[in-house]
Amino acid sequence: MSDNSNLDQFSHLRRLHELVEEGTYSQIQSLMEVLKPADIAHLLASSPSSQRSIIWNFFDEQLQSEIIPYVDEEIISDLLGDKSPEEIIQVLENVPADDDLTDILQQLPDALTQQVLNSMDAADRSRVQTLLSYPEDVAGGLMATDTISVRPRVTLDVVLRYLRRHAELPPMTDNVFVVNSDDVFIGLLPISTLLVSDPGESVAKTMNTEIEPIPALLPANDVAAIFERYDLVSAPVIDGQGKLIGRITIDDVVDVIIDEADHSILSMAGLTEDDDAFAPILVTARSRAIWLGANLGTAFIASAVINIFEETIAKVVALAVLMPIVASMGGVAGSQTLTLVIRKMAQGDLFESNQRWLLNRELAVGALNGVFWALVVAAVASLVFDDYLLGAIIATALAINLIVAALAGALLPGLLKSMGIDPAIAGTVVLTTITDVVGFMTFLGLASFFYG
């Protein structure tokens, strides 16, 4: 699509938002006709929940079935929640791709999902049930079942004639999969190889056996790493017996990458991918209250530490001014290490063989930065408060806290993961608590010792 076309699409989207806000629904239908299903799905995602059903009801069931595969999963319930089972079935029975239909069904109540399955013919129902049997976050949950496979003994000419019998090939078909008589995956026959090779050659002689198939239970982030490492457009998926059961394409992997990025960004604020930016006020407030409560609990812990040294702070008022510096510097240093380690874990680059090296490096970095910034803060504090002892105390506390922060940032992700807790969500809260407690305890403890 050209730049001008993109501008036109965004202009139409803005105009639609204005018409919905104004309640001028008579002009909406004509504008809808120039938008593609993906653009309409984007409009729905960027509209307040109260407006979604209004926009959605402008479309007939056929157009709804074209739009809904592009709709964000978290708003599917908004669109279908007030529909009868019969109406939902009429929309979903026209969704062309099994994997898209599966993604939608996973957002619906189990009873409704079963009704939709019962309305399908036996072959379609079997394929969709196979996809539903896998969790969303593994290869089996990402795959589509629209594979094209051939036997190794046939010639390339036979394969070409077989492909021509199809009205169209599945999207992003860059390979034909080679299987034996038991449907066990053997190799790939690239379409590019098929087109330039001697038609009389056998598939067995021209196929590629170097690409490993993806196990159906492989985690989605590992699938994304494989696609990135080998620059794949599509890849075969096999079950526990090595049988070909589907394929994953790059568009599915892009969704995984975007979801992982969203998860990393949102989790640092205690949000999840399911949090809808245009959800009702009470729903949003309730979901965020949990995170605020957790942070309040950790704040009480830090406050309790400060309260222990209340008399010392009262005697040396400068301590109250300097306390936030120690805690803040530790929090930032720890977050840098924590973020790096979580990212490497997500990419599958952390192993027992390199974890110790990374830990030692982060400790060395923490020590170097601790010493450097301790000297800077010590000099400033000594000059401002005319107290060299105070400068030495804050320097010591800062150096210790930065080293502890590096240690905590490096070890926390692995520890939390072993406990079944998502490091991206809980890591920041736990780390902040550690750096606050250690920072306050060290700084105020040393001050109490020296100032009595």
Reading the chain (452 residues) residue by residue, the pLDDT tens digits are 444 545 455 676 677 667 766 666 666 666 666 778 888 888 787 777 777 777 788 788 888 888 888 888 778 877 887 777 778 888 887 787 777 888 888 888 888 888 888 888 888 888 888 888 999 889 999 999 889 999 999 999 999 999 999 989 998 999 999 999 999 999 999 999 999 999 999 999 999 998 899 999 999 989 998 998 899 999 999 999 999 999 999 988 998 888 777 666 666 656 665 555 566 677 667 767 776 787 788 888 888 888 888 888 887 888 988 999 999 999 999 999 998 898 888 777 777 778 889 999 999 999 999 999 999 999 999 999 999 999 999 999 999 999 999 999 999 999 998 888 888 778 888 999 999 999 999 999 999 999 86
Helices and strands: H and E segment counts in the chain: 22, 6
What does the CA dihedral 273, 277, 279, 283 come to, rounded to 10 degrees?
60
- Residue found under tokens 């995602």: 45
Domains of the chain and any CATH numbers: 3-133 (1.25.60.10), 149-266 (3.10.580.10), 281-451 (1.10.357.20)
pLDDT value of position 379:
94
450 contact partners, CB below 8 Å, separation of at least 6: 389, 393
User: Of the candidates 104, 117, 187, which has an alpha carbon nearest to the alpha carbon of residue 152?
Assistant: 187
DSSP type of residue 422? -
How far apart CA 32 and CA 25 sit, in angstroms, is: 11
pLDDT value of position 204:
95
User: Of the candidates 20, 32, 257, 50, which has an alpha carbon nearest to the alpha carbon of residue 41?
Assistant: 32
Is the Cβ–Cβ distance between 447 and 319 less than 8 Å? yes
pLDDT value of position 329:
94
How far apart CA 256 and CA 57 sit, in angstroms, is: 30
DSSP type of residue 26? G
Angle ∠(146,147,149) on CA atoms, nearest 5 = 150
Half-sphere exposure of 56 (CA within 13 A, CB side): 27
Q: Other CB atoms closer than 10 Å to residue 81's CB: what's the count? A: 12
pLDDT value of position 274:
58
Is the Cβ–Cβ distance between 84 and 113 less than 8 Å? no
CA distances from 451 to 165, 309, 312, 385, 398 (A): 89, 12, 8, 15, 18
DSSP type of residue 366? H
How far apart CA 214 and CA 300 sit, in angstroms, is: 48
Query: SS3 for 416?
Result: helix
Tabulate helix, strand, coil % of the chain (nearest 5): 70, 10, 25
Query: SS3 for 180?
Result: coil
Query: SS3 for 237?
Result: strand
- Residue found under tokens 């018409």: 19
How far apart CA 386 and CA 388 sit, in angstroms, is: 7
User: Of the candidates 409, 428, 439, which has an alpha carbon nearest to the alpha carbon of residue 326?
Assistant: 439
The pTM of the full predicted model, rounded to 2 decimals, is: 0.69
End-to-end CA distance of the chain: 73
Is the Cβ–Cβ distance between 201 and 208 less than 8 Å? no
Tokens in use for 141?
């949950």
Q: What is the bridge-based pairing of β-strands 214-215 and 185-190?
A: unpaired
Q: What is the bridge-based pairing of β-strands 149-150 and 175-179?
A: parallel
